[in-house]
Structure 1
Amino acid sequence: MSGAAALDVAKLYAARLQAVRARPYLATALFALRLVESRQVPTMGVDRHWRCYASPGFVDRTSVEELASVWVHEVSHLLRDHHGRGDRLARALGLRGPAARLRMNVAADCEINDDVFGDGLVTPESAVTPDFLGLPDGQLMEDYLDRIRVDLHVRELAWLDCGSGADGLERPWELGPDGAHGLSPQEQDAIRFRVAEGIRGRPGDAPEGWQRWAEEAFHPPQPWRQLLGAAVRSAASGAGTGGDYSYGRPSRRSTGLPGVVLPSLRRRPPRVSVVVDTSGSVSDEELGSALLEVTAIGRAVGGRLDQVTVVSCDAAAHTVQPVCRASGVQLIGGGGTDLRTGFAAALRTRPRPDVVVVLTDGQTPWPEVAPSCRTVVGLFPRPSRYDEDAEDAENEEEYRPDEPPEWARVVTIG
């Protein structure tokens, strides 16, 4: 080692344990990092293969408390896929060179550092926060990158370098894809999944930024209105839907049967019955959204609102209303929930519907037998009802409503 001090591995591991005590939901990710000694890395950094590089000099002059914060900061880059997002930004914006990647690194730091410290983690003296740059908290790397206007000189700010794990650009001091102890993409996703599940299981333990990440990590936002429309159109266009026999235009086969008139199968606009959950657990805002969906459903079946009826239902079915315009629909209810009565009322309408669409929060019993027509469920999402302040929270039984049945096509609304 020619007189140079060796990496104080014991100090680093002690700092990692302190990080795990402060952020237990990150334990799986922190223990998955593979430690590599490097005298080229300015401080500590990570590559996109989940190796953590540490400078012996930096570790020697930094307290255990600050090193714990650095551990959490570096693993946050990997969990939030800043390397993959950095690559996509570089391609989309034509960003090249170390200076451009350093801007990405700073933007990624801002996404992490706005709420990662405190509650057992000290703020490192060199931490770059949105407030330090005059930017608002709570935004993403992509938002901060567009607003960073400071002149970033690579040599002056080299200590900010967190490695390719923060921006996607491989560094000379990294081992690369063929080096030892790297994690495969499948192993990385498994770690992210376990961390996300841990945060979602006890949401009160994590800052708002981590809660948002956990919700979106494996359930990215979907264009739910388009999905709902596509589900209705798919159900309405299925075999046997929206068709009936008519003598208005005799079948061509009648010519082969003298004296016999055969009806022909004619397509007509599909009839849709919308069952709206008006129980007390559905908010006024969600009921307003339901009225908007009635209009969207009318467009999905060719703009024929006259083919759409609405059933208000809480513990019992109320009025069955034909739709001329969404603003004319009255939603009645406010009690308990039993959408089985809503299904029954929808199926009793004449003419019978080809598709039943149910808009609900899901806190209802469901029919045991599939209806005679296709069914689409628009589900208002509900957050976890875990109570972290309960005296016996670990043994508290959480109410979990039955999932919508398999015979229904389910689209999450919002």
Structure 2
Amino acid sequence: MAELDRVKLLAARYRAATDRPYLASALYSLTVVPSSRVPTMAVDRHWRCYVSSAFVAETPVPELAGVWIHEVAHLLRDHHGRAERLPAADQSDRLRINVAQDCEINDDLLADGLALPDGRVEPRAFGLDAGGLFEEYLLHLPRSATCSDCGSGAHGTPGDWEIAGSGGPGVSPVEAEALRRHTAEAMRGHQRSRGTLPAGWRRWADQVLEPTVDWRRVLAGAVREAVAWAAGAVDYTYRRPSRRSAALRGVVLPSLRRPLPAVAIVVDTSGSMGEDELAEALGEVTGVLREVGAGGNRVTVLACDADVHAASRVTSAQQVTLAGGGGTDMRIGIEAALALPERPGVVIVLTDGYTPWPEEPSSARLIAALIGEDAPPPPAWVETVRVTDRR
């Protein structure tokens, strides 16, 4: 193997970091590993960059700078982590995954005016639009799609030319997350001062700094946890005598029971509520309650604006009648829920947040599902999930 021209290689990295200063910390975190077994450059998940000396010798510095940015983009965008979340059938074809990932990266790099070597992969080569994520591109690529192997830092499958394990120089997963956040913040600062950043990088930085959390998953977790908490209370019952009674002649001992909690759902039916979001949130809640066994006659739904209009036992969202449409005071609905013949252990309030709240917590677990991104928060003691229209 010819000796690696480190001066040229590092000059290209310096150029990349100078021209795109928001990437400097990430670029200088890469450890160079000379290798004759990679055709160009590649990275592993430990931020080691494997470099072919022949490729460096034949590639101009401006294009080498573009390849530096291309490789670090795989790591910043956590391509290996995202690849591991693909269906098992897709994970086996690492080079096809690599093609899709290169499409995601290169359209941004070319839009940013970077020089890349000939043979680069672009979405338009497959009749695809720019600006997509690699998971989207993967659905439309032919099975024959292939490219140069960018390493396990891209597709997640280690090559036989990679250093085994995390031993030696490299970046830990915790350090990698810190680098991603630092880079995203630097991009935000660059955008504020100069206003120039490719759309894909802007989207990536926004996701790192303000991650979109699936409200359905958060709401489901909150409901499950609250039901489990309420069901944790145990009581004694003589309906089923304790097995220990057999040891005591003439004495009947009660057994412990773990009752399934009653659940009340207070639905804000005031005029300011959006019907579609409300119906979707109600459907999610009733679905979760069925999963944890708190369905049937254990769930009561109360429609409320400034007064309680209806209270009914339901098994699905389709059975709910949403009456009302006036002002808003969820305190009345919560009080009505707590006054039901069977006091609920969990009260879930679906509202846009424009309502007064009780001044202090009760013995029941209270969850507020706030409809809309701008919904004002309830008191701190109320468990809160924001229901937005983000998909």
Q: TM-score, normalised by structure 2?
A: 0.69
Q: CA deviation at 1:105?
A: 1.9
CA deviation vs aligned residue, 1:19-77 (integer Å, no higher than 9, x gap): 23xxx3x554334333456666433322221123455654774353x555433321221
1:182 alignment partner in structure 2: 170
CA distance in 1, matches of 2:351, 2:345: 20
2:179 alignment partner in structure 1: 191
Q: CA deviation at 1:228?
A: 5.4
Whether 2:124 is the aligned partner of 1:131: answer yes
2:41 alignment partner in structure 1: 44
Identity of aligned residues (%): 41
1:233 alignment partner in structure 2: 227
2:295 alignment partner in structure 1: 303
CA distance in 2, matches of 1:351, 1:87: 47
The 8 Å contact of residues 267 and 304 in structure 2, kept in 1 or not, is answered as: yes
3-state SS of 1:166 partner? coil
CA distance in 1, matches of 2:304, 2:227: 22
CA distance in 2, matches of 1:344, 1:244: 28
CA distance in 2, matches of 1:291, 1:221: 13
CA 1:176–1:347: 2 relative to 1, 3 Å: same
CA deviation vs aligned residue, 1:231-287 (integer Å, no higher than 9, x gap): 3532442316xx8999xx89999xxxxxxxxx9999876433212345677533211
The 8 Å contact of residues 39 and 52 in structure 2, kept in 1 or not, is answered as: yes
Whether 2:322 is the aligned partner of 1:321: answer no
2:277 alignment partner in structure 1: 286
Instruction: State the aligned residue count.
Output: 368
Amino acid at match of 1:148: P
The 8 Å contact of residues 303 and 324 in structure 2, kept in 1 or not, is answered as: no
The 8 Å contact of residues 376 and 409 in structure 1, kept in 2 or not, is answered as: yes
Whether 2:11 is the aligned partner of 1:10: answer yes
Q: CA deviation at 1:132?
A: 1.0
Map 1:153-302 → 2, pairs under 5 A: 160-171=148-159, 174-177=162-165, 180-195=168-183, 206-207=199-200, 210=204, 214=208, 223=217, 226-227=220-221, 230-231=224-225, 233-239=227-233, 270-278=261-269, 282-293=273-284, 295-296=286-287, 299=290, 300=292, 302=294
Decide which of 79, 94, 100 is 1:107's aligned counterpart.
Answer: 100
> What is the aligned-residue RMSD (CA, Å)?
5.0
CA 1:110–1:221: 2 relative to 1, 3 Å: farther
Map 1:391-402 → 2, pairs under 5 A: 401-402=376-377
CA distance in 2, matches of 1:161, 1:250: 66
Whether 2:383 is the aligned partner of 1:408: answer yes
1:385 alignment partner in structure 2: none
Q: CA deviation at 1:211?
A: 6.0
Q: CA deviation at 1:187?
A: 1.6
Amino acid at match of 1:408: E
Map 1:383-394 → 2, pairs under 5 A: none
Q: CA deviation at 1:373?
A: 1.3
CA 1:59–1:379: 2 relative to 1, 3 Å: farther
2:60 alignment partner in structure 1: 62
Q: CA deviation at 1:145?
A: 6.8
CA 1:268–1:164: 2 relative to 1, 3 Å: closer
1:78 alignment partner in structure 2: 75
CA distance in 2, matches of 1:311, 1:366: 16
The 8 Å contact of residues 104 and 145 in structure 1, kept in 2 or not, is answered as: no
3-state SS of 1:150 partner? coil
CA distance in 2, matches of 1:287, 1:213: 26
1:330 alignment partner in structure 2: 322
What 5-or-longer segments of structure 1 have no aligned partner? 254-262, 383-398
Amino acid at match of 1:42: P
What 5-or-longer segments of structure 2 have no aligned partner? 246-253
3-state SS of 1:353 partner? coil
CA distance in 2, matches of 1:400, 1:264: 46
The 8 Å contact of residues 29 and 195 in structure 1, kept in 2 or not, is answered as: yes
